[in-house]
């Protein structure tokens, strides 16, 4: 493998030249970590020890070329390196599916909390989960790893996304407790309707008139099917919530991620669908980005 060694001073001068082309320093340092194998901690150490030298796991011209494509062509860095750290794994990513976002990591913790009867309880040993609109398989991987004895179902309309999800599930959740299904939302899961204890979805939720205004790195490189939520952004939420009370098991939970200004509308949809324990949760920035509800135990 071709590596690069240079003095700390030369390294920081080179880094300044790259950043002068555009882009964010935090993204450049992410590239250095993922492709150059330079951890954030090592980078900080270099700043306080200017006499030291730095070793990168890639040639400088390769890093320059990747950064150039990101800054000029707006190609997501995750696509350029083909990987994305997410929770405790490094998922394979590609233009076939949405790049898993950091805020979605929280949806898993919220889901696991819903399953506990009290704070000290562990989730039940067995049950059935589903991930509707699995994309890269991020949510499905996390559920399969957290609930290893549960039966799991991951659904997507996109064949390319399902191929990517399969790769990630095989790599990080190798036990045969999950299945992939091609189709729309609940439809491929009719055989488990009434038995689903936990269903998560991060559906497409961008309103149609906001698609053109998205950052080019998203708009031009991530699948339209993963972004567009119809006129008001809520088409997919409506489709999912509309059938939840038939598809969930009695007492089964539905958790959704949604756009930053959709919390009230999603809560109304959940209540109107006859679900109970309806509540919202914020992301790490304090923005209401998640909604959850349960099918009543009776009725």
Using CB under 6 A as the criterion, which residues of the chain lie in contact with ligand SAM when the complex forms?
97-98, 100, 104, 133-136, 138-139, 155-158, 161, 184-185, 202-204, 225-226, 236
What Rg, from alpha-carbon coordinates, does the chain have?
21
To ligand SAM, the closest distance from the beta carbon of 216 in angstroms equals: 18
Pairwise CA distance, residues 10 & 107, whole Å: 42
Residue 46 beta carbon to ligand SAM: minimum distance, rounded to whole angstroms? 33
Nearer to ligand SAM, 46 or 198 (CB): 198
b/e map 253-279, b = 16+ CB within 10 Å: bbbbbbbeebbebbbebbeebebeebe
Query: Distance (Å, rounded) from C-alpha 96 to C-alpha 164?
Result: 7
The residue among 46 and 107 lying less far from ligand SAM, judged by its C-beta, is 107
132 DSSP β-pair partners:
155, 201
Closest separation between CB of residue 86 and ligand SAM, Å?
8
Where in the chain does DSSP place strands (E)? 4-7, 53-56, 83-86, 89-92, 128-132, 151-156, 178-182, 196-201, 248-257, 276-282, 288-294
Instruction: Name the residue nearer to ligand SAM (CB basis): 114 or 143.
Output: 143
CB distance 253 to 198 below 8 Å: yes
CA-angle at 191, arms to 185 and 197, nearest 5°:
70
Nearer to ligand SAM (CB atom), residue 202 or residue 245? 202
Task: For the CB of residue 53, give the shortest distance to ligand SAM in the complex, in Å.
Answer: 39
CB of 276 to ligand SAM, least distance (A): 25
Minimal CA–CA distance to 130: which of 147, 109, 113?
147
Name the residue nearer to ligand SAM (CB basis): 134 or 245. 134
* Identity of the residue, 43 or 106, whose beta carbon is nearer to ligand SAM in the bound complex: 106
- State the minimum distance, in angstroms, from the CB of residue 139 to ligand SAM: 5
């Amino acid at each position: 493998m071709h590596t690069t060694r240079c003095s700390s001073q030369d390294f920081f001068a080179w880094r300044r030249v790259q950043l002068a082309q555009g882009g964010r320093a935090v993204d450049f340092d992410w590239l250095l970590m993922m492709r150059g194998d330079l951890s954030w901690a090592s980078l900080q150490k270099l700043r306080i020890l200017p006499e030291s030298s730095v070793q990168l796991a890639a040639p400088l011209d390769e890093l320059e070329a990747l950064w150039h494509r990101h800054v000029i062509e707006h190609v997501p860095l995750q696509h350029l390196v083909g990987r994305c750290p997410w929770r405790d794994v490094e998922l394979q990513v590609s233009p076939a599916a949405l790049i898993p976002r950091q805020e979605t990591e929280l949806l898993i913790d919220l889901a696991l909390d819903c399953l506990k009867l009290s704070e000290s309880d562990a989730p039940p040993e067995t049950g059935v989960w589903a991930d509707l609109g699995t994309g890269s398989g991020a949510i499905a991987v996390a559920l399969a790893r957290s609930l290893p004895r549960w039966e799991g179902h991951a659904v997507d309309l996109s064949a390319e996304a399902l191929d990517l999800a399969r790769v990630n599930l095989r790599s990080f959740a190798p036990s045969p407790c999950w299945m992939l299904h091609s189709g729309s939302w609940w439809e491929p899961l009719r055989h488990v309707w009434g038995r689903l204890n936990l269903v998560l979805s991060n559906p497409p939720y961008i309103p149609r008139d906001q698609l053109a205004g998205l950052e080019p790195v998203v708009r031009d490189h991530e699948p339209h099917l993963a972004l567009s939520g119809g006129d008001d952004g809520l088409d997919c939420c409506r489709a999912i919530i509309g059938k939840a009370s038939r598809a969930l098991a009695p007492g089964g939970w539905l958790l959704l991620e949604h756009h930053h200004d959709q919390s009230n509308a999603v809560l109304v949809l959940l209540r109107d669908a006859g679900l109970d324990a309806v509540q919202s949760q914020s992301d790490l920035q304090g923005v209401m980005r998640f909604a959850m509800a349960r099918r009543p135990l009776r009725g």
